[in-house]
Amino acid sequence: MSFKNTFINGADGLFKPDSLTQMQKIVLRFVVVGLVYYGFAVIEGMIMRIYEIEPVPFINTNQFFAILTAHPLVGIFGSTYALVFGAFLFLTPYLMKKPIYSVRLANWALILLAFGTFLFWFAGFISHYAPLYTLYWPLPADFEQFSVWGGTFFILGIAILMVGTLFFIINIFKTIVYTPEGWEKQDAAALFGSAIGYTGLKNMLAKKENKKEHLVPLPVAAIARGTVDMVLNTAIILFTGVLILVFMLGHILGFDLKESAIDALLYKNWFWWGLDLIADGLVLIFVAGTWYLLAMMITGKKLFMQNIARAALLLELVVSWTVWSHHLLSDQAQPAVLKVVSGELVTAFELITQGLAFFIVLATLWSARPLKMTNPLKFLLGGLLGFALAVPAGIMQADVGLNRILHNTQWVVGPHVHVAVLVGLTMTLYAAVYILFPIVTNGAKLYSQKLANIHFWFHLIGGIGMGAFMGMAGLNGMLRRTLYVDGEFNTYMILAALSGSLLLIAFLVFFYNIVMSVGLKGVIGIFTKSKLETKELLPE
Amino acid sequence: MVDSHLVLWGQTIAYSFYCLVIILLMAWFGYKITRTGKSNIVKPALFYTFVAFLTVLGVSLHIITYNTIPWAPVDLNRGDYMPDKTFEITMQNHEFHLPSETLVIDCNELVLFDVTSKDLTYGFGVFRQDNSMVFQMQVVPGHRNDILWKFEKSGIYTIRSTEYSGPRGIFMILKDVVEVMPCEGS
C-alpha cells in the first residue's frame, strides 16, 4: 500500500470504524483524548525543562508557574484517567461477561473529563492561575498574586472533571452488581462483597467447608478496590474545590472572607489524605490489577499465588488510607507519632505490597517460558522496572532523617514521581493499549513493529534518564517548584531535557504508528455515531 | 562526623547500586523468559522469603537512619533539648525578617530556628555555598515551626524558602546571612 493510502485507510485497510460497537467507539475515544492530553503534558514538560535552563522570551515567570500547576493535573486527569477509564469501562464488562451498565454514562464521563480538563488548562493558560496542585492554604485564595476569575474557572474545570469521575465510578460498580435484562437475578450484595474484598476477608476467618467462591475475577477486584479510593478522593477534591470557590465568589461579590478561618496544617493533612488516595492508592491498586491481567493474558495461565494477590489488593487499599503523613515529615507542628507511624512505618508497607505484586507477576511469566517478546510483554517489563526503581526512592524520602534533606528537592519529583508515572504507570498503560488494540479495533493491524520498538526504547531510556538527572540535581540541593535564574544546576537540567526529548520523540513515534494503523478515516470514524445500537462490547 | 553531605553521599551510592542491580536483573529476566529452561516452577517458599526480606528492609531502614543520622532523634524529641541559642524569624509578604543582619553561630552550638509565617505557607532552608542543602522545614501559618540544628563545620550559609508560595516566592533568598564561626582545632 502507498503511504497516502495507508495514511487515509490505515494499515492494510483492516480498520473498519463501521464495524465498531458503541462501547468500542467510546473506549477508542477515551484513548484518543488520553493521548492528546498526554501530548499536552509532554510538550508542557519540555517547555518547563527548557525554561529551567534558560528562560525563553515568549513565556514569563507567571506563565511558567501556570504551566507547572496545570502540567500534573493534565497528566493525571486528562491523560491517565482517560486511559484508565477507557480501559476499565471495557475490561469490567468484558471480564464479568456481561454488557456495560450504561453506555450513556460512559459517554458523559468522557465528555466531562475532556471538557473539564480543557477548561482548567485554558483558565490557567489565560489567567496564569498558579497555586500549584498542592494548593497549600491560603495560597489558592491569594488574589494579590492570582486572578479570582481565572481561579474560579480553573476550579470549575476540576469540578466538572470530578463529576465525570463520579459517572465512571457509578458505571463500574453498577456493571459489577447489576442484572442484565433477560438474565437470572444476580446477588448484588455478594458481587459487591467479592469485589471490594469482604468475601475474601470472611474466607480467611471461615472453616474450609464454609469458604465462598470469589464471584468476580481478580482484575475486576483490583478495579473495584481502586475505585473505592477514587470515590473518597473525588469527594475530597470536590469539597476542597467548593471551599476555594466560596472564597473566590465571596471576593467577587465584595465580601473578603477571613483566610485564617481555615487551619493551614489541618487543610494540608486533609489535602494529602485525599491526594494520596490517588498517588498511593488507586494508582498502585490499578497498576497491580493491570499487571495481573496482563500476566494472565500474555501467559494464558493462572496467576501465581492468586489468593495472596487478592488479599494484598485489600491490604493496599487499607494502607492507602493511612500513609498521607509522609508528605508532612518536614512540618514541625505535625505530631511525631503521625510522622513515625503513618509517615514511616505504614508507608514502608508499600514496599511490601508493590514488591509482592512485582514478584507474583514475574513468577507467573516465568511459569510460562519460553515467551515471545511481544509489545505488551516488553512494556509490562518496563512498567515493572519503573515501579521497582520508583518505590524504593519514595520509601527513602519517607524517612524522618532523610526527608530533612530531600523534601521538596528534585529527588522527590525525579526518581520517585516521574519514574513512577512515566516509566511505571505509563509503560503499564502502553502494555494494556498494545494488548487491547486488536480486540477493541476488531483486528486492526499495527502499522510498524520497528516504530513500536523505537517507542519502547526511547520511552524507557528517556524516562529513567530524566528521573536520574533530576535526582542527581536534587541530591545536590536543587529544589522543585522554583527557578534558578543563575543556572546553578544547568548541567543536570540539560541532561534531563535531553532525556525528556527522547520521551517526546517516543510519544510522537507512537502517535504516528497508531494513526497509520487506523488511518485518518478511522480516526474520524471513531467519533461518528455507531451503527450498532447494541450494549454488547463486541460485535456478534 | 555525620552531616547532610555524608548522608546524601551514602544515599547516592546505595541507590545507584540498587538501580544498577535491578536494571540488570530485569534485563536478565527479559532474556531468560524467552528461552526454555530446566524448571518453570517458582516455589512458594521463595515468595515468602522475599516478602520477609521486604518487611525487614522496610523497617530496618528507619531503625538504621534513626540511629545513624544525628538530627533524626533530636528532631522527634525537640522538647527534651535546651538550645544554646534561639533565632526568631518571621516570614511575611514573601520576605524574611531576621533578628539581625547576619546570624552568627558558634561551631557545635545547638541552635533553635523558630520561624513564623504571617500569611502563606513557606519553607525555611539553609544551603551551603555550593547550593547543597544543610536542612529545611516547612513554615505553616498559625503554627509553630521550629528546628534544632548543630553546625559542625564553619562557613557561610544562605537561607532560602523551600516551598512554593506563588511566583514571587522564587526571590526569597538571603545570601550569606548565616555565619558559623571556626570550629575548635580546625
**A476 contacts in B (CB within 8 Å)?**
130-132
Summary mean pLDDT of chain A? 95
**DSSP letter at B170?**
G
Chain A: closest CA distance from residue B78 (Å): 10
What pLDDT score was predicted for residue B186? Answer: 61
> Is pLDDT above 70 for A363?
yes
Average pLDDT over every residue of B167-185: 94
Residue A340: half-sphere exposure toward Cβ, Cα within 13 Å: 12
> Is pLDDT above 70 for A368?
yes
Q: Can you tell me the distance from the alpha carbon of B83 to that of B86, in angstroms, rounded to the nearest whole number?
A: 7
Q: Can you tell me the distance from the alpha carbon of A203 to that of A212, in angstroms, rounded to the nearest whole number?
A: 7
CB atoms under 10 Å from CB of B152, counted, come to 15
Q: What is the dihedral of CA A488, B139, A404, A340, to 10 degrees?
A: -150
Q: Can you tell me the distance from the alpha carbon of A475 to that of A489, in angstroms, rounded to the nearest whole number?
A: 11
From first CA to last CA, the distance across chain B in angstroms is: 13
What pLDDT score was predicted for residue A536? Answer: 86
CB pairs A-B closer than 8 Å: 225
What pLDDT score was predicted for residue A63? Answer: 95
Q: Over pLDDT 70: what percentage of chain A? A: 100
Summary mean pLDDT of chain B? 95
Query: By C-alpha distance, which of A389, A397, A322, A395 is closest to A358?
Result: A389
Cis peptide before A376 (omega within 30 of 0): no
Average pLDDT over every residue of A175-202: 93
ipTM score of complex: 0.96
The contacts of residue A294 (CB under 8 Å, 6+ apart) are A361, A376, A380, A428, A431, A432, A435
Query: By C-alpha distance, which of A527, A201, A395 is closest to B57?
Result: A395
Q: Report CA A178 to chain centroid distance, whole Å.
A: 27
- Cβ <8 Å between A138 and B61: no
Give the pLDDT band (50/70/90) at residue A464. Answer: very high
- Cβ <8 Å between B166 and A404: no
Report whether A175 contacts A97 (CB < 8 A). no
The pLDDT tens digits of the residues spanning A243-294 come to: 999 999 999 999 889 989 999 999 999 999 999 999 888 999 999 999 999 9
What pLDDT score was predicted for residue B37? Answer: 82
Average pLDDT over every residue of A476-497: 95
What sign results for the dihedral spanned by CA atoms B173, B174, B175, B178? Answer: negative
Average pLDDT over every residue of A135-152: 95
Report whether A390 contacts A423 (CB < 8 A). yes
What sign results for the dihedral spanned by CA atoms A155, A117, A120, A409? Answer: positive
- Cβ <8 Å between A331 and B138: yes
Residue of A nearest to B30 (CA): A381
**Phi and psi at residue A196, in whole multiples of 5°?**
-90, -10
Average pLDDT over every residue of B55-77: 94
Whether residue B21 lies within 8 A of chain A, CB to CB, comes out as: no
**DSSP letter at A326?**
G
> Which of A328-340 are b and which e, b meaning 16 or more Cβ less than 10 Å from the residue's Cβ?
bbbbbebeeebbb
| Helices assigned H by DSSP within A342-448 | 347-367, 375-397, 400-406, 410-411, 426-440
For residue B147 the three cell numbers come to: 528546628
The pLDDT tens digits of the residues spanning A42-97 come to: 999 999 999 999 988 889 999 999 999 999 999 999 999 999 999 999 999 999 99
Q: Best of A265, A330, A354, A389 to disrupt the B interface by mutation (most B CBs within 10 Å)?
A: A330
